[in-house]
Amino acid sequence: MMRTIAMIGTGYVGLVNGTCLAHIGHQVQCCDANLDKIELLQQGSIPIYEPGLEALVAENVTAGRLSFTSDIASAIEQSELLFIAVGTPMSETGAADISYVRAAAELIGRHLTVSKTIVIKSTVPLGTGRNVENWIRMAMPDPHIPFDVVSNPEFLREGSAVADFMKMERCIVGAIRPEAAKLVADCFEPLGTRTHFTSPESAEMIKYAANAFLATKISFINAVANLCERYGADVEDVARGIGSDSRIGSAFLRAGIGYGGSCFPKDTHALSWMADQAGYEFGLLKEVIHTNEEQKYMLLRKLVQALGDLHGTKIAVLGLAFKPNTDDMRDAPSLALIPALVAAGAHVRVYDPVAMTEARKWFGNSVEYGTGVYQTISGCDACMIVTEWNEFTSMDLNQVRQLLAKPIIVDGRNCYSPAIMQEHQIEYHSIGRTATVNTEANYNYIVS
């Protein structure tokens, strides 16, 4: 059954969910107080890079199911379901900043004149659903009007969010009243997904626990990779071996330089903060966070091992976004590596297929911006691979060797096999594997 929906917030969560809900038949108004963002969307452009999203937005706007407005009050009054999809960034303490959620709740309260269902899509600390209910009621002109608050966390991955929505693995609905839970679950019925009904607090915890567990797998395999290097083992063989165990699974066991983005860093910190507030020492999670922070600098250590003093060197950095198929640089490893390279006196030239505009916001004039893979690496003393874009995993290695002033690649994503690099006489340092040393270059060290 078609529902009228107001999606409050047109960031990553709101725009993807609003567009996809429209695509499966609902009437959706995506609304935001940011007038520039709304104007951009009304002109047919989108403020984020997400494969397939721009075409889907255009299709559903043309079909009349999707619209964008800055008149949030009107959207609230016209819709049956009100989705809160605003940001919950990490504060200085590590806690989630829910000020935008509170502002949205109070705005809803001021314009709530008939019974509606409020759905929290934002990732929020445990107990926020109850707080939202109180904030709405305190702002209502008539606090006797009934309404429901439902927790419905999202699990979309940047870079594949549209596909993840359309093939949704599970739908979590946390509510007090079964009628409200069913109303929200029915919105996703066309997808044929499994729905798990829980309390609001359990739904809120499921989101944090899922991200913390995946982050744990990443930090674990990275710690194993660091140990593999010391004993001459190959972490990719190890990952395949343990990943074939059905109790463990192969997902998120790819060694590299750590996780980043808008979810894992802030959600692990937020869950750790909640544990502290509850008087529980969540030591395991704290170590996951610590391991990830340390892993970001692994490439820098390998580069120093290969070149020695970095002062005056020219270094190419390929990949700035935290993962492929997005321009999101929030907590990306590049944000730690590049300032460290600059501080060490290196001249840094950077390139990313889609994140160059975003990169200029972070790095300004401290780096040189490349125009393509081969132009970026030309004349550099070493090349660092930070994000595993297809453009970087399929380079012409003969051309790479000719263009680099010194044939050295430091790969934070294990994009190539050491054997291939050996064939092309490229000194190759990766994560959790024995380095390939270019014997022709007359270097006087051996790396293991």
The reply to whether 171 belongs to the active site is no
Claim to verify: residue 190 and residue 211 sit in the same structural domain: no
pLDDT tens per residue across span 294-351: 999 999 999 999 999 999 999 999 999 999 999 999 999 999 999 999 999 999 999 9
Give the span between the Cα atoms of 320 and 310, in whole angstroms.
20
Report whether pLDDT(445) > 70.
Answer: no
Give the Cβ contact number of residue 314 at 10 Å: 19
Report whether pLDDT(442) > 90.
Answer: no
155 is in an annotated binding site: yes
Which of 268, 294, 320 represents a domain boundary (last residue)?
Answer: 294
pLDDT tens per residue across span 73-120: 999 999 999 999 999 999 999 999 999 999 999 999 999 999 999 999
Exposure of 224 in the CB half-sphere (CA atoms within 13 A): 19
Claim to verify: residue 45 and residue 157 sit in the same structural domain: yes
Claim to verify: residue 330 and residue 237 sit in the same structural domain: no
Give the span between the Cα atoms of 433 and 396, in whole angstroms.
22
Claim to verify: residue 360 and residue 379 sit in the same structural domain: yes
Report whether pLDDT(273) > 80.
Answer: yes
266 is in an annotated binding site: yes
331 is in an annotated binding site: no
Give the span between the Cα atoms of 427 and 342, in whole angstroms.
23
Domain assignment present for residue 448? The answer is: no
Range of the domain at 268: 207-294
Which burial class, exposed, middle or buried, applies to 280 when counting CB atoms under 10 A from its CB (0-12, 13-18, 19+)? Answer: exposed
Claim to verify: residue 234 and residue 93 sit in the same structural domain: no
Q: Identify the pLDDT of residue 438.
A: 65
Mean per-residue pLDDT, 188-194: 96
Report whether pLDDT(448) > 60.
Answer: no
pTM, to two decimals: 0.93
When mean pLDDT is compared across 65-79, 200-214, 430-444, the lowest value belongs to: 430-444
Q: Identify the pLDDT of residue 326.
A: 95
Q: Identify the pLDDT of residue 440.
A: 52
37 is in an annotated binding site: yes
Q: Identify the pLDDT of residue 437.
A: 82
In which order are the strands placed within the sheet that holds 66-69? 66-69, 27-31, 4-8, 81-84, 117-120, 148-151, 170-174, 194-198
Mean per-residue pLDDT, 38-50: 95
pLDDT tens per residue across span 353-365: 999 999 999 999 9
Catalytic residue among 20, 263, 380, 383: 263
SS3 content of the chain, % helix, strand, coil (to 5): 45, 15, 40
Cα 160–chain centre separation: 11
The CA angle 442-445-448, to the nearest 5 degrees, is: 125
The residue written with tokens 């609905």 in the block is 173
117 is in an annotated binding site: no
Mean per-residue pLDDT, 152-167: 96
Report whether pLDDT(447) > 50.
Answer: no
Give the span between the Cα atoms of 23 and 86, in whole angstroms.
21
Claim to verify: residue 247 and residue 278 sit in the same structural domain: yes
Q: Where residue 421 sits, what CATH number does that domain have?
A: 3.40.50.720
Q: Are 161 and 137 in contact (CB under 8 A)?
A: no
Mean per-residue pLDDT, 161-172: 96
Claim to verify: residue 353 and residue 275 sit in the same structural domain: no
